Amino acid sequence: MSDPVLDASAVLALLNREPGHEKVAAILPAALIGTVNLTEVISKLCERGVPADAAMEAVQCLGVDIVPHSPGLALRAGELRPLTKAFGLSLGDRACLALGRERRATVITAERHWDERVEAAADVHVLRIRHAT
CATH of the domain at 52: 3.40.50.1010
pLDDT of residue 82: 96
The number of CA neighbours under 13 Å toward the Cβ of 99 is 27
- Strand spans (E) along the chain: 5-6, 32-34, 65-67, 107-109, 126-128
pLDDT for res 67: 98
Residue 133 lies in a domain: no
Dihedral sign for Cα 25, 107, 103, 42, please.
Answer: negative
Q: Which domain holds residue 60?
A: 5-128
- Helix 52-60 × helix 35-47 angle, to 10°: 130
pLDDT of residue 132: 60
Does residue 24 form part of some domain?
yes
Q: Looking at the domain assignment, is residue 59 inside a domain?
A: yes
- The residue ranges of the chain whose pLDDT is under 70 are 1, 132-133
Backbone phi, psi, residue 17, to 5°: 55, 45
> What pLDDT is attached to residue 2?
82
Number of domains in the chain: 1
pLDDT tens digit sequence for 110-133: 998 899 999 999 999 999 999 765
